[in-house]
Copies of this chain bind each other. A is one copy, B any other.
């Protein structure tokens, strides 16, 4: 089925059909109706691929995440997709599973499919592949080069209000379980803020670095057992890099008769749908506005696509908020 078949069926010229399809030139109301009816009758839909080739636009965005089933990224993807759809863009989803090899393969796949733009939320070390891309790239929580815009919730502020809240709640010795610090990720600023806020208030403190960038609850539970538990008696407050770590720590404490919040206060990070559903305990945490971040990621990359700007210094930093739960 092509445009010729539509023309024959409608009894008009191919040019007329093309005008209707592209909304160009004058078309009488009756003629438009005839063409639309013919398209429906022969079940014709304009071939976007052929069009994309012509316009060199595919209306497809890629999104690379470490794990689309992690509650934070799952929620982020939903809002990225809903916003993209409102602008008639589609979203291709890529799970890097934090494997550089997988990520590299995805990038060449996205290049081959001529996606219009890319939202990069991955955590792997190598960013050189991204710099070579000829379409707009927006990153989440990461600066990969000056001309790539990023979207982030205010990580420094998040670390600061988490730490201040623990200090105001009476903690004297603070621990921070960070993400992997080797990567130059913006969440590292939470750790900077933790250190500086503790120093400002003369509070003893220590940082345990997440050694691996595995985002599963099972991994965090094992990590608490093996790396954190031996040190735990030295501290009365812990600022965790995300809510799954905070939850795993709470469960370890409950199992080992450490009373939360009396003996140990816990602050998490994210407040995604898992945390919002969780009732035992209601975590004290720093809320990132996930839906707003997703929306901005989509609109930023779409705006770059449509203005044909590859470079942009239009970074967005959104506010975070302390959610007071039962763990402090």
Q: Which B residue sits closest to A279, measured CB to CB?
A: B251
Task: Give every chain B residue within 8 A of A276 (Cβ-Cβ).
Answer: 217
Partner of A113, one of B48, B102, B106, B134: B48
Interface centre among A58, A75, A109 (most CB of B within 10 A): A109
Interface range, A side:
35 or more
CB pair B48–A114 under 8 Å, yes or no, is yes
Q: Which B residue sits closest to A113, measured CB to CB?
A: B48
Write the nearest CB–CB distance from A252 to chain B, whole angstroms.
11
Query: In the bound complex, what is the Cα–Cα distance between A113 and B71 (angstroms)?
Result: 29
Q: Which B residue sits closest to A251, measured CB to CB?
A: B279
CB pair B49–A77 under 8 Å, yes or no, is no
Of A4-12, A86-94, A173-181, A231-239, which binds chain B? A86-94
Partner of A114, one of B49, B102, B279: B49
Query: In the bound complex, what is the Cα–Cα distance between A14 and B181 (angstroms)?
Result: 48
Q: Which B residue sits closest to A47, measured CB to CB?
A: B114
Task: Give every chain B residue within 8 A of A105 (Cβ-Cβ).
Answer: 85
**Contact residues, A183-199 vs B (CB, 8 A):** none
Contact A93 to B91, CB < 8 A, known contacts A53-B53, A217-B277: yes
| A325 interface residue (CB < 8 Å to B) | no
Query: In the bound complex, what is the Cα–Cα distance between A155 and B102 (angstroms)?
Result: 35
Task: Give every chain B residue within 8 A of A170 (Cβ-Cβ).
Answer: none
Write the nearest CB–CB distance from A142 to chain B, whole angstroms.
22
B-contact 0/1 string along A45-57, CB 8 Å cutoff: 1111110110000
CB pair A93–B95 under 8 Å, yes or no, is no
Copies in the complex: 2
CB pair B91–A92 under 8 Å, yes or no, is yes
Task: Give every chain B residue within 8 A of A59 (Cβ-Cβ).
Answer: 113
Write the nearest CB–CB distance from A316 to chain B, whole angstroms.
22
Contact A247 to B277, CB < 8 A, known contacts A78-B95, A95-B85: yes
Q: Which B residue sits closest to A89, measured CB to CB?
A: B109
| A201 interface residue (CB < 8 Å to B) | no
CB pair B53–A112 under 8 Å, yes or no, is no
CB pair A92–B95 under 8 Å, yes or no, is no
| A285 interface residue (CB < 8 Å to B) | no
Q: Can you give 14 contacting A-B residue pairs, CB < 8 Å?
A: A45-B111, A45-B112, A48-B113, A49-B49, A67-B78, A69-B77, A69-B273, A74-B74, A77-B93, A90-B92, A90-B109, A93-B93, A247-B277, A274-B274
Residues of A within 8 A of B (CB): 43, 45-50, 52-53, 58-60, 67-69, 71, 74-75, 77-78, 81-82, 85, 88, 90-95, 97, 102, 105-106, 108-109, 111-114, 132, 134, 217, 244, 247, 251, 273-274, 276-280
In addition to A47-B53, A48-B113, 12 A-B residue pairs with Cβ atoms within 8 Å of each other are: A45-B108, A50-B53, A53-B53, A68-B78, A77-B93, A81-B94, A82-B95, A85-B95, A85-B102, A217-B277, A244-B277, A279-B280
